[in-house]
Amino acid sequence: MKNKIEFFGVRGDWKRFKFFCPACCSTHEFEIDNKNEHLMWNRNLEKPYLNFPIKNRSNRGADLCHCSIINGELIYHSNSTHNFAGRTIILPDWIGK
Ligand SMILES: [Zn+2]
């Protein structure tokens, strides 16, 4: 399997990750608190499970992209303002930079 999310650095106590969102055709970023890492995700880059939703505003594709990453899938919440609202898709393999 390939990584679906990419680790790209540290900021203070936070580890930074990114993934590709097909709904927005762009990369979204999120941060994990080092001290509570075990509470926030399963530490699996290939089949990530995050215990928090991700909200992105002012993307190219949507005013609001609200999603969760569960077992390697992207679950778009219904209040997202793009065509993927309410849908669940396989999180694409990370291929970008
Ligand atoms: Zn998005």
| Span 12-59, pLDDT tens digits | 999 999 999 999 988 999 999 999 999 999 999 999 999 999 999 865
pLDDT of the residue at 60:
64
pLDDT of the residue at 17:
97
Distance from Cα 69 to the centre of ligand 1, integer Å: 12
Distance from Cα 19 to the centre of ligand 1, integer Å: 9
Domain range summary for the chain, segments of one domain joined by +: 6-90
Distance from Cα 76 to the centre of ligand 1, integer Å: 8
Q: 96 pLDDT exceeds 80? A: no
**3-class DSSP string for the chain:** CCCCCEEEEEECCEEEEEEEECCCCEEEEEEEEHHHHHHHECCCCCCCCECCCEEEECCCCCCEEEEEEECCEEEECCCCCCCCCCCEEECCCCCCC
pLDDT of the residue at 97:
62
Distance from Cα 96 to the centre of ligand 1, integer Å: 15
Q: 71 pLDDT exceeds 80? A: yes
